[in-house]
């Protein structure tokens, strides 16, 4: 007998697909929900099976909340005159580019060495050109001598989409 997956099963499917996409795996591989468990045994009414994973219904919402939280980008925040961008700078690259925009910091490779402020200057220049603002609108507010920096970009309400798409 063909049965439709329950609401919890659909939530579990979406969670597993979101985690697969976030981790760079194929979501189709994880998207099936068997009506019966292993060896043809019926799935316990208090659980949801997604692929080889078994979730309790009470834990499905917790898993969904964790997956959506980790998918959320929190590397920027609005400020009174623009936005604050939380950056992890990696100096010494061949070209300046965004490496990763999925966590709590925007990881940027900087095409300058960390000597006498050259990497900071290149980082501010790169962010100014990526956000289409003047170089004077970009300033380092925290982390002048650290890889973890907070950079204020004045004159914009949100970062452009190209900053979050890994520089593609």
* pLDDT over 60 at 28, yes or no: no
- How high is the pLDDT of residue 21? 61
pLDDT tens readout for residues 106-146: 999 999 999 999 999 999 999 999 999 999 999 999 999 99
Q: How many CB atoms lie within 10 A of CB 13?
A: 19
Query: Do the domain assignments include residue 144?
Result: yes
Residue 41: give the domain boundaries.
7-71
pTM above 0.85, yes or no: no
- The average pLDDT across 43-53 equals 50
Query: Do the domain assignments include residue 34?
Result: yes
Query: Do the domain assignments include residue 1?
Result: no
Beta-strand (E) ranges in the chain? 47-50, 53-56, 76-78, 82-91, 97-100, 106-110, 138-142, 148-154
DSSP letters, 127-143, are HHHHHT--GGGEEEEE-
- How high is the pLDDT of residue 47? 52
Top pLDDT among 40 and 149 is at 149
Query: Do the domain assignments include residue 46?
Result: yes
* pLDDT over 60 at 168, yes or no: no
Q: Are both 65 and 80 inside the same structural domain?
A: no
- Domain CATH number, residue 147: 3.30.1200.10
- The average pLDDT across 154-164 equals 90
Query: Do the domain assignments include residue 2?
Result: no
């Amino acid at each position: 007998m063909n049965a439709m997956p329950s609401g919890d099963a659909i939530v579990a499917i979406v969670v597993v697909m979101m985690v697969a996409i976030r981790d760079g795996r194929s979501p189709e591989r994880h998207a099936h929900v068997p009506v019966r468990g292993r060896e043809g045994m019926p799935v316990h009414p208090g659980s949801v099976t997604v692929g080889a994973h078994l979730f309790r219904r009470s834990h499905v919402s917790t898993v969904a909340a964790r997956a959506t939280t980790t998918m959320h980008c929190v590397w920027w925040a609005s400020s009174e005159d623009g936005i604050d961008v939380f950056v992890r700078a990696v100096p010494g690259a061949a070209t300046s580019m965004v490496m990763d925009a999925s966590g709590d910091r925007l990881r940027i490779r900087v095409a300058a060495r960390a000597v006498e402020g050259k990497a900071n200057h290149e980082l501010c220049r790169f962010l100014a050109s990526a956000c289409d603002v003047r170089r004077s609108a970009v300033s380092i507010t925290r982390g002048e001598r650290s890889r973890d920096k907070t950079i204020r970009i004045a004159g914009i309400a949100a970062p452009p989409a190209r900053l979050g798409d890994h520089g593609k």
